[in-house]
Amino acid sequence: MTSLQTNKLHWQTQGEGQDLVLIHGWGMNGAVWQQTMDSLAQSFCVHSVDLPGYGLSHQASASDLEDMCQQVLAQAPDKAVYVGWSLGGLVATNIAVTHPARVERLITVASSPKFAAEKGWRGIQPQVLSDFTSQLTNNFQKTIEGFMTLQAMGSPSARQDVKAIKQQVFSRPMPNPEALALGLDILAQVDLRPVLADIQVPFLRLYGRLDGLVPKKVEQDVSHLAPNSQCHVFESSSHAPFMTEHEAFCRMVEEFVGGTVKSG
């Protein structure tokens, strides 16, 4: 395992083989993937990044989604499978659209091309996003603990894993308020629905049936917007299936990268 800390972004790398890039969600950092990295590194060269303003990249900053993507690409492998969770799914999707030559395959996890709700589109109400930002800024650890505990509901085996992941996440600095504000703005404003049909690389969308942030109807709607994509819904998961159904999640990633995934 190697770690890279420069005046740019913090990266962690494990394993050998085909390159996989893991991109974390809002309010978190790359350590949330540690259990996933340990498993997938048996088959791949797995990279996780702390996005600008998060974790050990707390000294960095980004101006918008495209700037965030450019900073990731500056240190990423020349070509990789991109796996993006939640907000990280927007980053990975935008990279696949704007820099397809850098992306072997795209996997989004509990993500949406448009997180904010509007008439005819299910998503998060703006007030919920604002409240969550305020809570994270005022009491980062308590808010993240509550969020992660919710992910373990419905899967007793996940509780011990979530406890370990909490320790990893809290071992790194909390995100900058500016990074949280930018993340809120991206979640509230960005709409990638019009460009989903432009994605040329193999595309897998993973969801949790119990997810309250990305409702199940989003999965159905996105299937129409990206008809060439595949999808799978984890029946016992909410917003973090890589925690709740860890083994099944890793198996799904391995099968998709190997070209044998079965959507369902």
**DSSP calls for 57-123:** GTT---SSHHHHHHHHHHHS-SSEEEEEETHHHHHHHHHHHH-GGGEEEEEEES--S--B-BTTB--
State pLDDT tens for residues 7-18: 589 999 999 999
State pLDDT tens for residues 147-193: 777 666 655 566 776 777 788 888 999 888 899 889 989 999 999 99
Find the Cα–Cα–Cα–Cα dihedral 125, 243, 145, 175, rounded to 10°. -70
Kindly provide the b/e burial profile for residues 170-197, where b requires at least 16 CB atoms within 10 angstroms of the residue's own CB.
eebbbbbeebbebbbebbbebebeebbe
Q: Which of 24, 232, 239, 246 is catalytic?
A: 239
Confidence class for position 243, pLDDT limits 50, 70, 90: confident
Q: Which of 39, 86, 155, 229 is catalytic?
A: 86
Q: Which two tokens stand for residue 7?
A: 């005046």
Q: Is 86 a catalytic residue?
A: yes
Predicted pLDDT of residue 96: 98
Rounded CA-CA distance 87/23 in Å is 8
Predicted pLDDT of residue 38: 96
Q: What residue type is 203 in one-letter code?
A: F
Place of tokens 């085996």: 157
Q: Which of 155, 211, 232, 246 is catalytic?
A: 211
Q: Is the pLDDT of residue 41 over 50?
A: yes
What would the mean pLDDT of 24-40 be, rounded to a whole number? Answer: 94
pTM confidence score: 0.92
Predicted pLDDT of residue 3: 47
Q: Which two tokens stand for residue 134?
A: 């305020």
Rounded CA-CA distance 57/48 in Å is 12
Domain boundaries, the chain: 2-257
Q: Which fold has domain 2-257?
A: Rossmann fold (3.40.50)
